[in-house]
Amino acid sequence: MDKSKIEVIGNNHIGTSLKTPMREDAFAHTDAEKISNIQFHFSKIMEELGLDLSDESLSGTPYRFAKMYVKELFYGLDPKNKPKISTFPNTYGYQRMLVEQDITIDSSCEHHFLPIAGKAHVGYIPGEKVVGLSKINRLVDYYSHRPQVQERLCLQILKDLQEVLGTRDVIVVVHARHLCVSSRGIKDKESYTTTLDYGGVFENEDRRAEFFNLLKNDGNKV
């Protein structure tokens, strides 16, 4: 890919697919092997920048960096880390909207590997199944912890919940600030990005308005 196209894709935050782009051999190495390889290559990056890795403060940085990438920031790349989302019969027949809001988004832009920080708000209309509220948070966290494009993150959360719950009646909103916008390029410190997707009854404008009114009222927090 030529450099001009690279810049266009990065500066415009363009995503290329719904699925996170992964190599066929993505899981050929163990986590320990990945950490070792990343540690080696990141030490070369630091050396190329002119940093002295014999300094006590810097000597352990390549290892810390590699471990952070594999075990923390990008743990959501590995399907074995996907949380088990248990559902339960809707025995009490609850049929109104259920909203889980202000879920922390702690992600990374796949174009510059800089932080994306914000909140997700998820709503659904229970059918025959309901899901534990903390499981929604865990699912959001899982999809956040990988190199991401915000539009894809929103869609991945939506599609997964629709499949788990067996209903299209799901809505997802993500508000987030991108460090690749605030710390480089335009360097806009105040702007944030909002993405939204939904299905089923939320195709109806009144149902979407009901959802947004609940967010606006902050759920009458106690």
Q: Which residues are catalytic?
A: 109-112, 150, 178, 180
**Residues 6 or more apart whose Cβ sits within 8 Å of residue 36:** 66
| Distance in angstroms (rounded) separating the CA atoms of residues 169 and 203 | 9
The residue whose two tokens read 């799901």 is 170
DSSP state of 18: S
Angle at 66 between CA 34 and CA 11, to 5 degrees: 105
Grouping H, G, I as helix, E, B as strand and the rest as coil, residue 41 is: helix
154 is in an annotated binding site: no
Instruction: Produce one character per residue of 113-135: b if its CB has 16 or more CB atoms within 10 Å, e if not.
Output: eebbebbbbbbbbbeeebbeeeb
Collapse the DSSP code of 177 into the 3-class scheme (helix H, G, I; strand E, B; otherwise coil) and give the result.
Answer: strand
Residue ranges of the binding site: 109, 112, 180
Residue ranges of the binding site for Zn(2+): 109, 112, 180
